[in-house]
Amino acid sequence: MKDPEQRKKGLNTFARYSSISFQMIVVIGAFAFAGYKIDEWRNSKTPIFTAALSLVGVAVAMYQVFKQLNKNDS
């Protein structure tokens, strides 16, 4: 069996990575939703803004992940 200290460390690691994944989902979803609304407002036949803002959301989310992982590792 693991000692309580190792178990606590494992739970803290799990919580940290889970929160990062949920944060990524929220950021990408918000950018994609904004792009969808812009496309809807412009009556676009092709979802250009949805695609573009989704990619921007991925870039912002990845930046946040790298920033958090570097902060937590030091």
What would the pLDDT profile of 17-52 be if each residue is shown by its tens digit? 888 899 999 999 999 999 999 999 999 999 999 999
Q: Domain of 56?
A: 20-72
pLDDT of amino acid 66: 93
37 belongs to a structural domain: yes
Q: Residue 3 above 80 pLDDT?
A: no
24 falls within a domain: yes
Q: What pLDDT is attached to residue 73?
A: 63
What is the predicted pLDDT for the residue at 12?
Answer: 79
What is the spatial distance between Cα 60 and Cα 52, in angstroms, rounded to a whole number? 12
Is residue 33 a part of any domain in this protein? Answer: yes
Residue 62 lies in a domain: yes
Q: How many domains does the chain have?
A: 1
Q: Which residue has the tokens 């570097």?
A: 70
The answer to the question of residue 58 being in a domain is yes
Query: From CA 47, how far away is CA 70, in angstroms rounded?
Result: 35
- What was the pLDDT predicted at 11? 77
Cβ atoms of 44 and 34 within 8 Å: the answer is: no
Asked if residue 10 belongs to a domain, the reply is: no
- 12: in domain: no
